[in-house]
Structure 1
Amino acid sequence: MLQKLRDKTSGWIVTVILGLLMIPFLFVIDSSYLGGVGAQNVAKVAAPPTWWRSAPSWWPMSFLWQHHEISVQDFRTRFEQVRQQTREQQGEDFDPRAFESTENKLAVLDKMIDDQVVRLAGEQSGIVISDSTVRDTIASIPAFLGADGKFSQDQYRMRLATGNPPRTPAQFEAEVREGMQLQVVPSALLSSGFITQAEAERLMALLYETRDAELAVLPPVPADTAEVTDAQIKQWFDTHAKDFRQPETVSLEYVEINAATLPPATAADEATLRKRFADEKARFATPETRLASHILIAADGNDPAALKAAEAKATRIAAEAKAPGADFAALAKANSDDTGSKSAGGDLGWVERGAMVKPFEDALFAMKTGEISGPVKTEFGFHVLQLREQKGGQERSFEDVRDQLAAEQLKADSENAFSDLSGRLVDQVYKNPTSLEGPAAALKLPVQTVGPFTRATASGIAANPAVLRAAFSDVLVQDGTVSDPITIAPNHNVMIRVTDHSPEQALPLEKARDQVIAAIRADRTRQASAKAADAVLAKLNAGQTLQALAASENLQVQAMPGLQRGQPVPTPEINRALFAAQAPTEGKPSYGKVDLQGRYVVYAVTKVTPPDQSKFTEEQKQQVIQGVGQMHGDEDAKALTKALRKRYKVQIEEGNL
């Protein structure tokens, strides 16, 4: 029977039928198997194959496209880096809740997508970073240089092993290679931007021109006191409703714990101080350091034969180094595999405990001055050691440091008392997280209140940025729970609870009436000031001068010769206006006005002086040419990335952010 079934289901007709049946599945198959983002990724960037660059994104075989994913882990790592940078920039103003917004996450992801787009473009263009280029780049990183300023293999491995996170040389080299590959195309475009000599000269003529001007500050217009009708009030209120809102307010109760106001701690007795001295004896000793040299015979730890040969060579060199009259430095230059110290005769400089791997350190600090030891096996191979000199290691007596110990113990006891009281308050609050009265009473601490206040009117303890953020946070406002301890200063914190909250809301006209009247009158005053400035400008354009109008218009005229573009002189606003004005023609100044918070300044540009191009040095010209060229190159790089994103297929899974 099986043979009959096999005969019936074989042949080219059945093959064609099965092929036709498979086609619909290509359209309905779950994208997570073929072209989807995937559960462990936040985004995917795919480029059509090089043999069909115009392949449409809806092509059923798009899973064959070349692609890169951005994993959740990679995204979180980058996001944390940006978080730390932002925290350092903003200081106390940094708001961790606001930073976690979807907009911020998408902005970070967008930059990561751009990187992957550039990476794909480089790969499809055949850009390859050679091993020698990666090695040369790593060898130039200052953190991996030895005492002689040259690359040290030991330093390199130690830095990677103790980094955050720890990395192997292979992992680090892959990171460097990827980073360099990402920079090839943008760097090439950045360096390819250029401007012509004529364009540079025109730009320098604009940048370095100076202008002579006269400024006249108009006298203040009398404040408007005219009647404001109900109709005017209603019209202004209706058209400026967003200006008349009652800001969000909160009221707080809080318990404050400050080590400075707690009862002083009791001075420690003699036994406590002596125990502290015994426990921390090493702190009162000068660190022992040793001036060492070594000869490294590198070996592959996975090859027993290579290990045996390296050990034999190290044993032979150790014997030669111990021979009378032997020159250790010459032996190191001739035999050591440590490129960082080889040229210096194996010199490692002064070595402290913890600076070297443990077998190396144990052997070195067991040696006597002038002794040669080895071979010592480490993960790098076999070392022959020479101890040239040692210093430090002296200890101070208890009597010498007793006063210091007493002061430190008193401070520690005070901090412990603060920490203990803070911990007990937290424990009490956790029993009833919606009240401060009970926990405060149990610890005999006062409950204080503050508010209502807005974000702009907070004072006292509420003005602290951390307290202010917590006070207006959704958690405390909506749940009415007590906050976690908020640090005000070292050994000084508070726990707060929102007792009353009023959301931002529109003010009714009855409450906003006085504000509306003040706004209408301020607007009238501004209009009157602008009208007065326009009247002066009309007279100037009719042929009069600022100097001639000074007396009749009560103007304060000031000459400002030789003003430079982009300088905050006399103010940034006035400087921009002066250099945006048309140049004077046929001896006729160019006039204009500037609004300085409701008070106007009328200006006259009387002269434009172009720079003397012959006085520019070649270095100045090249700086302008290179600076503008790099700007053009940067714009080209951004334009290329934008164009590539249109050609590539970008998928984002916001739910994984």
Structure 2
Amino acid sequence: MLDQIRTVAQGWVGKALLALITIPFALFGIDSYLSSAGNNVAVAKVGGNSISVQAYDNALKNMRNRLQSEGKFEQAQLDSPEVKSLVLDQLINKQLLSDEIHNAKYAISDSQLATYVTGMPEFQKDGKFSQELYDQTLSQNQLSPSKFEAGMRADLLAQQAQDGIARLGFISNARADEVLKLANQQRVVTVSEIKTKDFVDQVTVKPEEVKAYYEQHKNKLIVPEQVKIEFLSLAPVNFMRNVNVSDDEVKKYYDDNAAKFQGNEQRRASHILIAFGVSATPEQKQQAKAKAEEILAQIKKDPSKFEQLAVKNSQDPGSAVKGGDLGSFSRGAMVKPFEDAAFSMKVNQVSDLVESEFGYHIIKVTEISGQNADFNSLKPQIKGDLMFQKAKDEFAKQAEAFSDLVYTQSGSLEPAAKAFGGQVQKSDWLSRESGAKFFKNNEKIMSLIFSNEVLKDRRNTEAIEVSTDNMVSARVVDYKPAAPKSFDEVKAGIEALLKLEAASKLAISKGEAALKDLRDGKNVAGIEWIKEVTVDRKNAQGLTDLAMNQVFKTNTAKLPAYSGLADSKQGYLLVKVIKVDSSSLADEETKKAAKAQLNAALANEYIAAYKQSLREKAKVTVNEKLLLSNAAK
């Protein structure tokens, strides 16, 4: 709630995003969702309460919208089970906290609420609470006082329930200094790798050892069952030769989608906003317009005063302090009246008044970058896209007929190939795994191929979509059952494996012996150390993660300090720490900030543990199937 109100105060773009994204969830919380869910199916149950699909779905959409607006995630990530679980966990935690507040009888009195609200910086004017500013902010966000105050009360109750727990997360100055020293500590180090591969030539593997390994592992050295297949695919490309697109269609598509074909052109602009509010009366709008016209007249008289007048008059706080500068933007980033005006202007041109839902804008374009893409240069691309789209449409129409024909004529793929202008193709030997990769990691087609009906009766598989807009039906031509690999097939591989295992043991043995001698103060021949480097936890100076981890695990009570790490594949890593420097102390301001971060992290851990304890005490059940289904997207 507090973050939302503060965001609202930052500018007209922020207000627009906020109204669309944060208000439904952050303001009203879980109670409004629960109360509006009716008899909807529950995606989770928390004690005696249910979290409905409707509540979950709305919260998920809000999360996706927020992440998309921040450009933090790709669509595949937004649809991932991890994001879904995160959203549900947040709803569960809110319900648990709400139940705890109710059971523990936490309360915020009307006077406490009033004191807090009237003291919020967002509603201060000339050092005191402004009823006018309060009403205006709520109006701009389409909130009634009762809804806003109910949301604030819920937030304060949640804060009250968690504050005592958070205060347990305290770290002393001495401990904070110690952590900071460790975090900033530098170590002068060198490493040496005793590599397995350097010992391979020293190893001899006897033929009887290879044979014994084969006999011992024969049941694992299996050639999986394999098939040779023929298959027929149906895709939009099958219909391309019958598709025609006229020049008139291309031109119409270009005109209808002009905004889509604007190349990479961007505009940088400044503006002065004179707002009139969401529910402005005609008189209020006229007053705002008169003020905007007065400012515009001053600018036309002296254009150099634009930035000065923006700082003084613009009611978009986010840009006003920068002389009205909004930075660079592409089409689609601004509301349409603003965008249409900005993209029709030249550099340093000042617009007439432009009315949007936020008020009256005076716009000045300060920079144009990138370029538009004209019709003639785009014509071949658009024509190709339209042809492919028509082919896709025809594919969608014919897909069912294709499926029916490979089923009714299941003894051969040739009738379907002739009917749809395709060509039956043949494969080499395929296992289930290699076949799935062959068909773009589609395991379903291979499951069908290895089914009794297809494998034994040699019938066509049903037509399935192995990838987007690509249907395939297949039939088995030949089959080989699973069988052990012959000794000759695997002999060379077994010999190489046994050599590697023996070489690894030699490398590790040499490494461990070298480490013992180094710790005893002896010189060790044949150890090649890299050039000394100074590292800290953020700067590895080319060392691997494995080496860095070992460097900071090394006990440095006595210098030089040595440690080692065995890797059954790579060999043995020796680490030598020559010097430790913990004197890099931060200034007091940095130390203070670091301590605050540590306290905050510790407080978050306590709060997380508190919420987990609530979850363990309550009976929480999650409908996993519903959570991951399309119904809850």
Quickly name the TM-score band, shorter chain normalised.
0.5 to 0.7
Q: Which residue pairs with 1:197 in the alignment?
A: 173
Contact (CA 8 Å) 2:406, 2:416: kept in 1 or not? no
Pair 1:119–1:355, CA change in 2 (3 A) = farther
Pair 1:234–1:258, CA change in 2 (3 A) = same
Indicate which of 68, 83, 97 corresponds to 1:118: 97
Contact (CA 8 Å) 2:560, 2:576: kept in 1 or not? no
Q: Match for 2:537: what amino acid? A: R
Contact (CA 8 Å) 1:291, 1:389: kept in 2 or not? yes
Pair 1:635–1:232, CA change in 2 (3 A) = farther
Indicate which of 571, 575, 586 corresponds to 1:599: 571
Q: Deviations over 1:519-545 (max 9, x none)?
A: 333222211221222232343344322
Contact (CA 8 Å) 1:209, 1:608: kept in 2 or not? no
Q: Which residue pairs with 2:464 in the alignment?
A: 483
Instruction: Give the CA deviation at 1:40.
Output: 3.0
SS in 2 for 1:634: helix
Q: How does 1:532-571 map to 2 (within 5 A)?
A: 532-546=510-524, 549-550=525-526, 555-565=527-537, 567-568=539-540, 569-571=542-544
Q: Which residue pairs with 1:448 in the alignment?
A: 425
Instruction: Give the CA deviation at 1:444.
Output: 1.0
Contact (CA 8 Å) 1:252, 1:471: kept in 2 or not? no
Contact (CA 8 Å) 1:295, 1:346: kept in 2 or not? no
TM normalised by structure 1 equals 0.56
Q: Match for 1:581: what amino acid? A: T
Distance (whole Å) between structure 1 residues aligned to residue 521 and residue 95 of structure 2: 63
Q: Match for 1:494: what amino acid? A: N
Instruction: Give the CA deviation at 1:321.
Output: 11
User: Percent of pairs identical after alignment?
Assistant: 17
SS in 2 for 1:229: helix
Distance (whole Å) between structure 2 residues aligned to residue 95 and residue 284 of structure 1: 27
Distance (whole Å) between structure 2 residues aligned to residue 346 and residue 183 of structure 1: 33
Q: Between Structure 1 and Structure 2, which shows a larger proportion of helix residues?
A: 2
Q: Deviations over 1:356-414 (max 9, x none)?
A: 9xxxxxxxxxxxx999x9xxxxxx9xx9x9999999xxxxxxxxx88479657734652
Tell me, yes or no, if structure 1 residue 641 matches structure 2 residue 624: no
Q: Which residue pairs with 1:218 in the alignment?
A: 194
Instruction: Give the CA deviation at 1:611.
Output: 1.9
Q: How many residues align structurally?
A: 497
Q: How does 1:308-387 map to 2 (within 5 A)?
A: 314=283
Q: Match for 1:575: what amino acid? A: M
Q: Deviations over 1:631-652 (max 9, x none)?
A: 2112101211122234334355
Q: Which residue pairs with 2:46 in the alignment?
A: 45
Structure 2 unaligned regions, length at least 5: 1-37, 125-134, 263-270, 295-309, 317-323, 325-333, 339-350, 366-373, 455-460, 628-633
Distance (whole Å) between structure 2 residues aligned to residue 294 and residue 588 of structure 1: 69
Q: Match for 2:192: what amino acid? A: A
Distance (whole Å) between structure 2 residues aligned to residue 446 and residue 85 of structure 1: 48
Indicate which of 525, 542, 562 corresponds to 1:590: 562
Contact (CA 8 Å) 1:476, 1:497: kept in 2 or not? no
Contact (CA 8 Å) 2:101, 2:157: kept in 1 or not? yes
Contact (CA 8 Å) 1:291, 1:388: kept in 2 or not? yes
Q: Deviations over 1:544-564 (max 9, x none)?
A: 224xx13xxxx3232424232
Q: Match for 1:43: what amino acid? A: A
Q: Which residue pairs with 1:73 in the alignment?
A: 54
Q: Which residue pairs with 1:610 in the alignment?
A: 581
SS in 2 for 1:558: coil
Pair 1:475–1:387, CA change in 2 (3 A) = same
Contact (CA 8 Å) 2:226, 2:430: kept in 1 or not? yes
Distance (whole Å) between structure 2 residues aligned to residue 476 and residue 85 of structure 1: 44
Instruction: Give the CA deviation at 1:458.
Output: 7.3
Q: Which residue pairs with 1:61 in the alignment?
A: none
Distance (whole Å) between structure 1 residues aligned to residue 603 and residue 140 of structure 2: 38
Q: How does 1:215-364 map to 2 (within 5 A)?
A: 215-218=191-194, 220-223=198-201, 224-227=203-206, 228-229=208-209, 232-233=212-213, 237=217, 253-255=231-233, 257=235, 262-263=240-241, 268=246, 314=283
- Which has the higher Rg, Structure 1 or Structure 2? 1
Distance (whole Å) between structure 1 residues aligned to residue 118 and residue 475 of structure 2: 61
Pair 1:265–1:598, CA change in 2 (3 A) = same
SS in 2 for 1:604: strand
Distance (whole Å) between structure 2 residues aligned to residue 226 and residue 592 of structure 1: 28
Distance (whole Å) between structure 2 residues aligned to residue 565 and residue 525 of structure 1: 33
Distance (whole Å) between structure 1 residues aligned to residue 180 and residue 626 of structure 2: 51
Distance (whole Å) between structure 2 residues aligned to residue 632 and residue 596 of structure 1: 38
Contact (CA 8 Å) 1:526, 1:598: kept in 2 or not? yes
Pair 1:389–1:558, CA change in 2 (3 A) = closer
